[in-house]
Amino acid sequence: MKALVLAEYNQFEYKEVPEPSVGPEDVLIQVKACAICGSDVHGMDGSTGRRIPPVIMGHEAAGVIAEVGANVLGWQKGDRVTFDSTVYCGRCYFCQRGLTNLCDNRRVLGVSCDEYRQDGAFAEYVAVPQHILYRLPAGLSFEQAALVEPLSVAFHAVERTPISLNDTAVVVGAGMIGLLVIQSLRAAGCGHIIAVDINQTRLDLACKLGADEALNSDSVDVMAQVLKCTANHGADIAFEVVGITPTLQLSIECLRKGGTLTLVGNMSPTAELPLQSVVTRELTLVASCASRGEYPACLDMIARGAINVDALVSAVAPLAEGASWFERLYEGEPDLMKVILSP
Ligand SMILES: [Zn+2]
Ligand SMILES: [Zn+2]
C-alpha cells in the first residue's frame, strides 16, 4: 500500500510500505480521510519526542472496513467507520473505572515514542482493534467524520466543566480545539461566549461559529472587556486552549471569584501559576485530556448540524501531496485551519 511516512524529522516520503497485519480482534480500514492534527505538525521536527521516525502519523480519520479479524463481532466489510485516536486496554485500573483516556497501556495511533510505535492513518490502510470503532451516521461524510476526534477533545473539556444556563465563558485560544469548544459551549447553554486570540482570521471564524465577542489580545485590554461584559464580576468559566504562561494567567484573571478554569492546552510543559489569585478567589482548576466516551454524541451533533465542522476545513488534498501541506502548516500559514488528506 501507499503511505505518507515521516522518514526523518521534517522529511516525508510517499512510498510503498507493507499493509498492516490484522490481528484476530482487529479490523483493517481502507482510509478515506485523515486530518492533519496540530500534534502531528508540532511533533514532526522531533520537539515533542512523540513522532520518532520512521512513523506513519495520523489519528483523526475515517474509512471503510476492508477486512475483519477472526474474533470480530458486529462489524463487516463495507461498514463506514471512524475510531478513537487512543487504543486503550480495557483491563487496567483506570480502564476499569471508565477512565479509558488515562489507560496505563494507552497507545495513540500515529505516535512513536520511547515506549511504543503505533502506525496511523496517513496510508491506504490502517488496522485498529474493534473496541475503538464507531459507526458513521447516514449522511455524514468521511471528511466530517475525520473531525470527530478533535471535537471529542473539545466536548470532553466542556463536559468536565460545571456550566449553568446563561453562564459567561471566556475561551483563550481560537485554534481548532478552541473553535470547537466555543460551539460546544453554545450547545451547552452558555449565554455569553468571549473568544480571545491574536489571529484575526480565527477570531472572525469564532464569531461565525457562535462567539458573541472576539477579542484580539494584541490590541485589546481583554480583562477590561470581560469585566465590562459581566457587570465587573468576571467570567463564570474559562478555557485555556493554548498552554503557555501568558495565556494561563490571562484565563485566570478573566474569572470571577469562585469561577472555574478548564485547562486543555499544554504547549509548554510548565507554566507559572498566579497562586494567590487562585487561592484567595477560590477558583477551581480542571484539567482535560483527550476524550472518553464522547464519540457517539459528537457524531450525532455533526450529523444534525448542531456543530459545524465544515467551516474549519481549509483543504481536502490527495495523500500524495501531504508533505507540502505539512510544510505549509509547519510554517504557520495564518489562514490555514484543518487540512484533510485522502489516500
Ligand atoms: Zn489530534
Ligand atoms: Zn487500560
Q: What is the model's pLDDT at position 193? A: 98
All three cell numbers of 86, joined, read 487512543
Query: Where does the chain have alpha helices with state H?
Result: 38-43, 93-96, 142-145, 148-159, 176-187, 200-208, 222-229, 245-254, 275-280, 295-304, 322-330
Nearest ligand to residue 292 Cα:
2
- Take residue 317 and report the three cell numbers written for it: 488534498
Point out the ligand nearest to the CA of residue 154: 1
Q: Is 235:256 a contact under the CB 8 Å cutoff?
A: yes
Tell which residue, 261, 251, 250, has the closest CA to residue 283: 261
Ion ligand 2 nearby residues (CB, 5 A): 88-89, 92, 95, 103
The dihedral through the CA atoms of 123, 6, 311, 134 has a sign that is positive
Give the ligand whose atoms come closest to the C-alpha of residue 93.
2
Q: Can you give the pLDDT at residue 311?
A: 97
Output b/e per residue, 189-202; b: 16+ Cβ within 10 A: ebebbbbbbebeeb
pTM of the predicted model over 0.85: yes
What does DSSP say about strands 213-216 and 107-108: parallel, antiparallel, or unpaired? unpaired
User: Splitting the chain (343 residues) into consecutive groups of 10 residues, what average pLDDT does each group show?
Assistant: 98 98 98 96 93 97 98 98 97 98 97 95 98 97 98 98 98 97 98 97 96 97 97 98 97 98 94 98 98 97 97 98 98 93 97
Cα–Cα distance measured from residue 105 to residue 102, given in angstroms and rounded to the nearest whole number = 9
Give the three-state DSSP class for 328.
Answer: helix
Hunting for cell 496540530 — which residue is that?
A: 38
Q: Which pLDDT score is estimated for 92?
A: 98
In angstroms, what is the span from residue 94 Cα to ligand 2's centroid? 6
pLDDT of residue 335: 87
| pLDDT for position 15 | 97
Ligand 2 center from residue 290 Cα (angstroms): 14
First to last CA, the chain: 10
Reported as a single tens digit per residue, the pLDDT across 104-162 is 999 999 999 999 999 999 999 999 999 999 999 999 999 999 999 999 999 999 999 99
Tell how far CA 238 is from the center of its chain. Answer: 18
Burial tier of 323 (Cβ tally within 10 Å: 0-12, 13-18, 19+): middle
Q: Do 118 and 53 form a contact (C-beta atoms < 8 A)?
A: no
Please report, for residues 92, 99, 118, 131, the alpha-carbon distance to residue 96 in angstroms, rounded to integers and kept in the order given: 6, 7, 23, 14
